[in-house]
A = this chain, B = another copy of it.
Amino acid sequence: MNTRAPVKTAGDREAPGAAGAGTGGPLAGVRVIDLTSVVVGPFATQILADHGADVIKVEAPGGDQGRYLSGAARHHGMAWKYLHLNRNKRSIVLDLKQPDGHQALVALLRGADVLVYNIRPRAMARLKLSWEDVHAINPRLIYAGAFGFGQGGRYAARPAYDPMLQGLSGSVALNMAATGSARYVPFMLADRSVGLIAAYAITMALFERSRTGIGQAVEVPMFENMVGIQMAEHLYSASFAGPDVPGGSARVGDPRLLDPNFRPARTRDGFLCISLNTDRQAHAFFDVIGRPELKTDPRFGTMTARAANAADWLALRAEVLAERTNAHWVDVLSSADIPHAPVQSLDEVLADPHLADVGLFQRVQHASEGELVQIGVPNTFSASGAPAWRGAPRLGEHTREILREAGYDAPAIAALLASGAANAPD
């Protein structure tokens, strides 16, 4: 892309529901102490922050590694992906290995609703921040961890990074089955999926606390969740146990999704995505291609028949669609009310006119990083609205302010900074 992309200036949003914007979001007033780093945890807390929570990002003196991990930045420690993942948060630097740094965190926890971490529970215990520790400090606190592996299994102590989880959980195997090539899904699928899951798990615990008044420990293991999501699509006939398994044997891997023809159709001059699930859609397609007799064909006439003959059905479609151009198909499919869509390049996505209409990409001004393009929150809440955007924090940008809010006076803050138990930019 170039800088002519149809982004809007913040404040120009006309997204549906924006009438309620500015009232602060459904999590306004919720305070989150965020010990996470890199992607999965910061993504979970980004979601909480995007919906109004006051997320306090607690960083070690070296800062979140995510500040340095991606290769485009205007300033060291403010890499582009960090900027997206940490918007709407504040940053405090504490050295939790120093007693005074730990004590400052405890002071923050007394006034907080949620603590989120993404290291292993035993590492939290070494920091004297186990569930028992924090529950004694603040019984209303929700203690939420997103980490690699459930603590009741033999991989409990293993580290976990997104590519390893894609390899272990079947993402790579699925790509191999579909394409013959051992590749990752080309984004941080495990980090992103589990970040979304952690966001709902934390919010469920907040909802439950509204009824019981007490916090609880929430654990979100990444490996198990990734297997769960993918196997719900691919457990196939292995979903059946016992003697009479449909098809005769328990097989894993949905043959439809792994079929060589489950892909955007290659037309004479490009690619096209087309959906032909319902009988109405399929029968309209048979008319369009001049094969009305297929409406009563036992292999293709009904949804159940097409599911049972998925390979033949996908092959038939691929063969017919290859004969004509994209323009031809868009024309006739539109006339027949058959759902279809183009394959957009990343540049086309960025320039998509619908996304411009709703203002998904927004130009914003960051205090230290200058003019940025940020990705808006597309979900709308008619009553709660949405918080205003604020730029991702510099390392320790809010150390003094957050300590003040926690009851530290100026000399106490100065002492913490002098000892290195806390850090702040000059």
Q: Of B17, B80, B201, B377, which contacts A236 at CB under 8 A? A: B80
The yes or no answer to A154 lying at the interface (CB within 8 A) is yes
Cα A76 to Cα B304 with chains together (Å):
8
Cα A344 to Cα B2 with chains together (Å):
40
* Nearest chain B CB to A75 CB, angstrom units: 10
The yes or no answer to A149 lying at the interface (CB within 8 A) is yes
By secondary structure, the A interface counts as mixed
The yes or no answer to A227 lying at the interface (CB within 8 A) is yes
The reply to whether B375 and A249 contact each other, CB–CB distance below 8 Å, is no
The yes or no answer to A124 lying at the interface (CB within 8 A) is no
A80-B240, A182-B263 given; name 11 further pairs at CB < 8 Å: A164-B273, A167-B271, A192-B229, A204-B381, A212-B383, A216-B383, A217-B380, A221-B378, A227-B352, A228-B376, A241-B372
The reply to whether B277 and A161 contact each other, CB–CB distance below 8 Å, is yes
Tally A residues with Cβ within 8 Å of B: 178
| Segment from A104-112, A173-181, A400-408, A418-426 that makes contact with B | A173-181
The reply to whether B79 and A307 contact each other, CB–CB distance below 8 Å, is yes
Cα A7 to Cα B151 with chains together (Å):
18
Cα A43 to Cα B341 with chains together (Å):
23
- 14 A-B pairs, CB-CB below 8 angstroms? A26-B205, A51-B204, A69-B277, A80-B239, A83-B239, A153-B353, A153-B355, A173-B343, A173-B349, A192-B233, A200-B200, A223-B354, A231-B375, A239-B373
Closest to A233 in B: B187
* Nearest chain B CB to A305 CB, angstrom units: 10
B residues within 8 A CB of A203? 200, 203-204, 207
B residues within 8 A CB of A43? 232
The reply to whether B375 and A235 contact each other, CB–CB distance below 8 Å, is yes
